[in-house]
Structure 1
């Protein structure tokens, strides 16, 4: 599973292109910024953007809300293949909430919510609110990365989500996963073989630089969450000197980024689940899951064991069949936020699953949304782009036995989460990436924000990235099991320190800590 579930309904190379791509990646700033580009990219950097309504039609409530908030939208033209910029093109959808304090304007700040495959078109109003008075000094830019959201689409027509499945309890369940993931990969390759080689984080970073040029900016500021921290780090490495203020929230250390994003995070997820269990035990009268943490965890274990035989949940005309390949995801989705509201939602979910272990049960609205995402093709387009990015970034192991060994080793200590975090994915059957993964070769003065109990991007990853970028500083929120903090968690200390950096451009003199 990837890190994108933080924004689900409550709900992240065998050879390089060669010298020509290296030249493109290090091309000079654009003509809009007073210089020229090379490699045939001038027409992209110098394009005029046609800003207009964000509403795509009368039923587009999100677009109408953006229009009311003063946001305008445009499509940016980018090359499908940066090694052949004269060839086929794509559109990347962006939104802009212009600075109102033009006298003290800093520049443009581009936002990425993670995923990979997260859409940011609707985020500028919320980010401006989080930035308080500092927000008026920025043009806030939401971007739907290539093949995501309103950009040129990619939909493999998958009947289920790929990123949320566990291998289950035994070898038979794993073999079913291998067959399913291979079938999904083959289906996507059959319909999109022409574009899949160009779906990658490095190409999204190149698109970001085209956006920078089309906006007429010499430098681009950036706010990225989760997978968005990896994208932001890649941008700083491919385009050193073209960024200004960078905030990376819930950071991934670059060498550990790979298709199984949660691999290695089993201890953090187990601790977060135990913390939730203690919370639920104090509310046994509400959820009936047990009067102690251990009793609640035992109830969870019984649910997982019974789900191996299948659970039935009905919501109106929808009938959901859930098994032990789905239940671990439903738990992981609920423990990346330790607010009372999120914990209550997970308490309700687990209570319904406990009921379903004996008879068909009715899910809550929240759980029904999760089940539609996990067990149907309703989110096929988002899942397709997400998987294609992961598979296009880093080569995955090809031998299914490698995954089985990883699962079995992890299962001894983490029987619930190990079969999910180590499960086989379509990347095992994908074509090899076109480029090698990005390596950190340049320092970057970024502000890294991290919670010590983050179950999606373990805190140690943020610490490692802090040392990999010596010019950066680390802002730690102690004692929170939360993924995504700034502007989302309501921690005044974190929000004020990030806003101070965005206002002044000055990093703290040393790493700093906030309390939950």
Structure 2
């Protein structure tokens, strides 16, 4: 997940992790269409030519009077469109779906480099609107590239999938067998509600989204595609590089996921990184004890958090109008990953102070952020965000269907991961999913030139996983932000800006020169440059 305060729409969806196994190229059957050359001069796979050569009908972005993001895109002179793609790339003559895209044209057309597609992570996050953020933080990049946003298949405006879930997250397994069994029943119920979509679920995979990207590239008339991906977006970029290595131009991966580990159980490796960011926040809170009164030392602050956890394990806490139980508390504590700025840490500390008082039996009023997040957890998944996030991960890799394996794993780590272990090691709806992946995960191993950036204390993608991605992409160079506890590091998109990181990324995208060797940046706050 991206480095920001979590909301009910994103909390509890793990990032990092999954299986390995074979990488196949696009396997289109020759049962529809003829072979034609695409913009790259190579023959399109049989049946795909009609998709790659389709004419894009650009139009205004606002879909109605209540569409504020569409209005903002229109005001920025963006264009929107829908690109038709196969539901199943092995059957291009069969059912089709539409993928929504946006475009901000290069502001310096005389020096235009090409098209740059941006994916912010998730999975399952609409990105048509987010091209505006890229232009805002990186005007020199926006000058040279048409910025392309895409709502991935089944997300946002792209033939959306919604299982009408009554809850947005399974949450933590809690303190005992009884609480674990309750989450297993919830996960099973959520999965069953997606059964009506079993005909499309196997095709929600990252591999197919990468294939959609290449159809978009060809339909745009581009020989190659540049790409900026963060968090889950790095995995999408890694898969694209493996499937279409000759189509990639300049590629930047921010907080790169180990491609051998992404999938339904992806969060399992996050324990040490989560403990690290919690300790870092605790040290910060201790230095601000006069304001937050959580403890004068990091150990005292952590003891305060542990007492909250112990109280919730004994029974639910009343937090304003909300009921906070052991299933939800770790999701609230996960918000410590929202960034290592004073603002983010202070907001989290204010929430912990409220929970501390609630654990003491004091009548409390939640902070506005805490109130919003708790309300979100109590609300249904109205727009389908959580169900489609799970659909993508379930399509990428099959999860274990043995609840006992999850329970044994949780029990084995209760001592060393008492706060987050029951959350990150718990089963998910993928353990009961009504459809199996159509293909094995992509094994990423190539030498395509790539620039990677990331932080040593990243709580969303542990640094060891970033290094594994670096090894898999042998043509990559890595710029590491030392001593930072944030998820994503470029441009201030979801974390504080760092001039050293921004200069490396912007320099590569504009000038095309990778660093001669891996480099490091100091964790010093800065305004950054575009």
Shorter-normalised TM-score: what interval?
over 0.9
Q: 1:464 aligns with which of 446, 465, 468?
A: 468
Corresponding residue number in structure 2 for 1:188: 194
Q: Give the Cα separation in 2 of the matches to 1:142 and 1:84.
A: 26
The residue matched to 1:21 in structure 2 has which SS? Answer: coil
The 1:253/1:16 distance shift into structure 2, 3 A limit, reads closer
Deviation at 1:354, TM superposition (A): 1.8
Corresponding residue number in structure 2 for 1:397: 400
Corresponding residue number in structure 2 for 1:43: 50
The 1:5/1:193 distance shift into structure 2, 3 A limit, reads farther
Find out whether 1:68 has 2:75 as its counterpart: yes
> What does residue range 290-309 of structure 1 map to in structure 2 within 5 Å?
290-308=295-313, 309=315
Q: Give the Cα separation in 2 of the matches to 1:438 and 1:54.
A: 34
Q: 1:440 aligns with which of 430, 440, 444?
A: 444
> What does residue range 347-496 of structure 1 map to in structure 2 within 5 Å?
347-357=349-359, 358-378=361-381, 381-430=384-433, 431-488=435-492, 489-496=496-503
Corresponding residue number in structure 2 for 1:236: 241
Answer yes or no: is the 8 Å Cα contact 1:456–1:483 preserved in 2: yes
Question: Structure 1: which 5+ runs fail to align?
Answer: none
The residue matched to 2:260 in structure 1 has which SS? Answer: helix
Corresponding residue number in structure 2 for 1:313: 319
The 1:490/1:18 distance shift into structure 2, 3 A limit, reads closer
Corresponding residue number in structure 1 for 2:333: 331
Answer yes or no: is the 8 Å Cα contact 1:5–1:115 preserved in 2: no
The residue matched to 1:254 in structure 2 has which SS? Answer: coil
Deviation at 1:19, TM superposition (A): 8.8
The residue matched to 2:365 in structure 1 has which SS? Answer: coil
> What does residue range 264-283 of structure 1 map to in structure 2 within 5 Å?
264-283=269-288
The residue matched to 2:340 in structure 1 has which SS? Answer: coil
Find out whether 1:31 has 2:33 as its counterpart: no
The 1:162/1:40 distance shift into structure 2, 3 A limit, reads same
The residue matched to 1:93 in structure 2 has which SS? Answer: strand
Q: 2:262 aligns with which of 240, 257, 260?
A: 257
The residue matched to 1:510 in structure 2 has which SS? Answer: coil
Deviation at 1:272, TM superposition (A): 0.7
The residue matched to 1:221 in structure 2 has which SS? Answer: strand
Deviation at 1:120, TM superposition (A): 1.1
> What does residue range 53-132 of structure 1 map to in structure 2 within 5 Å?
53-132=60-139
Residue correspondences, number:
506
Answer yes or no: is the 8 Å Cα contact 2:28–2:45 preserved in 1: no
RMSD across aligned positions (CA): 2.3
Deviations 1:33-66 (CA, angstroms, capped at 9, x unpaired): 4444122111111111121221111111111111
The 1:224/1:28 distance shift into structure 2, 3 A limit, reads farther
The residue matched to 1:40 in structure 2 has which SS? Answer: coil
Answer yes or no: is the 8 Å Cα contact 1:95–1:121 preserved in 2: yes
Q: Give the Cα separation in 2 of the matches to 1:23 and 1:89.
A: 15
Deviation at 1:293, TM superposition (A): 1.2
The 1:138/1:52 distance shift into structure 2, 3 A limit, reads same
Q: Give the Cα separation in 1 of the matches to 2:20 and 2:478.
A: 34
TM-score (normalised: structure 1): 0.93
TM-score (normalised: structure 2): 0.91
Corresponding residue number in structure 2 for 1:176: 182
Q: Give the Cα separation in 2 of the matches to 1:392 and 1:5.
A: 25
Answer yes or no: is the 8 Å Cα contact 2:5–2:339 preserved in 1: no
Answer yes or no: is the 8 Å Cα contact 1:14–1:432 preserved in 2: no
Query: Once structures 1 and 2 are overlaid, which stretch shifts more, 417-426 or 357-366?
Result: 357-366
Deviations 1:451-498 (CA, angstroms, capped at 9, x unpaired): 000011011111111111111100100000000110122101100111
The 1:480/1:93 distance shift into structure 2, 3 A limit, reads same
Deviation at 1:288, TM superposition (A): 2.1
The 1:19/1:483 distance shift into structure 2, 3 A limit, reads closer
The residue matched to 2:194 in structure 1 has which SS? Answer: helix
Q: Give the Cα separation in 1 of the matches to 2:328 and 2:457.
A: 24
The 1:4/1:511 distance shift into structure 2, 3 A limit, reads closer
Q: Give the Cα separation in 1 of the matches to 2:35 and 2:407.
A: 47
Q: Give the Cα separation in 2 of the matches to 1:194 and 1:15.
A: 24
The 1:61/1:237 distance shift into structure 2, 3 A limit, reads same
Answer yes or no: is the 8 Å Cα contact 1:75–1:92 preserved in 2: yes
Question: Structure 2: which 5+ runs fail to align?
Answer: 524-530
Corresponding residue number in structure 2 for 1:289: 294
The 1:362/1:7 distance shift into structure 2, 3 A limit, reads closer
Deviation at 1:256, TM superposition (A): 1.5
Q: Give the Cα separation in 2 of the matches to 1:15 and 1:439.
A: 5
Answer yes or no: is the 8 Å Cα contact 1:115–1:386 preserved in 2: yes
Find out whether 1:511 has 2:514 as its counterpart: no
Q: Give the Cα separation in 2 of the matches to 1:117 and 1:323.
A: 27
Q: Give the Cα separation in 2 of the matches to 1:14 and 1:497.
A: 31
Corresponding residue number in structure 2 for 1:166: 172
